[in-house]
Amino acid sequence: MDIPKDLVAASAAPLVLSILADADSYGYAIIKRVGELSGGELEWTDGLLYPLLHRLERNGLVASRWGASESGRRRKYYSITPSGTAAIADHRAQWSAVASALDAAWNGARAELRAAAGPREALA
C-alpha cells in the first residue's frame, strides 16, 4: 500500500510525540519505532524527521539534550514536555473525529447500496 505524502506528513507529529511519550529517544530509534508500529507501511524519508523534531522543540512540545551513544558518538536525545503531552490529547481528538467521520461515511454508503438493491434482497 502506498500512503500518500500528505497523509504521512500529517501523521508525523502525533506519531513522534506519542513515541516520545513512552520513553525518551533519538532520531534513528524513532524511525525504527515508526516502522514497527506501522508494520512497515509508513515510509518516512529519514532526513525529514529532524526538521520536524526541531520544530516541535522550538514550539516547546519536546526538549532535547546531547548525550553519547553506546559507542561514544555524540547523540541528541529528545523527551516530551507537558505541552507535548497536552498536544497528544488534541491530536487524538482530531484523528478520532476524522476516522469516525470516514467510518460513518463508508457505513452509510454501504447501507444505501443495500437499500438500493431492493426489498427482495433485503428480505433474503
Partner 1 sequence: MSAPEEASALDGQIGLWRAHLERRGAMGTADVDELEDHLRGHVEALLDAGLSDEEAFLVAVKRLGSQDAIAREFAQENSKRLWKQLVLGGAPTQRADARAGGLAAVAFAVLGGLLVQVPRLWSAGEELYLRNASLLGLAALVAYLLWRRPQGRTFALATLGALVGVAVVANVLPLDAHSDAMLVTALHVPILTWLVVGVAYAGRRWRDVDGRMEAVRFSGEWVIYMALLAAGGGALAGVTVAVSQAAGVDAGLFVEGWLIPSGAAGAVVIAAWLVDSKQSVIENMAPVLARVFTPLFALTFVALLAVVALSGQALALDRDVLLVCDAVLVIAVALVLYSLTARPDDAVAGWFERTQLALVGGALVLDAVALVNIVGRLDDGWTINRAVVLGINVILLVNLAVTGWLLVRLLRDHPGATRALERWQTGLLVVYGAWAVVAILILPPLLGRV
Which of 67, 85, 86 lies closest to 26 in space, CA to CA?
67
CA distance 25 to 99: 28
For 65, the enclosing helix (H) or strand (E) is strand 62-68
Among 23, 50, 96, 102, binds partner 1 (CB under 8 A): 50
Residue 1 found at the interface with partner 1 (CB under 8 A): no
Q: Is 61 helix (H, G, I), strand (E, B) or coil?
A: coil
Could you tell me which stretch among 16-24, 39-47, 99-107, 111-119 binds partner 1 (CB under 8 A)?
39-47
Q: Residue 5: what residue type? A: K
Span 52-111, contacts to partner 1 by CB under 8 A: 54-55, 57-63, 69, 73-76, 81, 83
CA distance 16 to 2: 20
Residue with smaller CB distance to partner 1, 48 or 101:
48
Residues that bind partner 1 (CB under 8 A): 26-28, 31, 45-48, 50-51, 54-55, 57-63, 69, 73-76, 81, 83
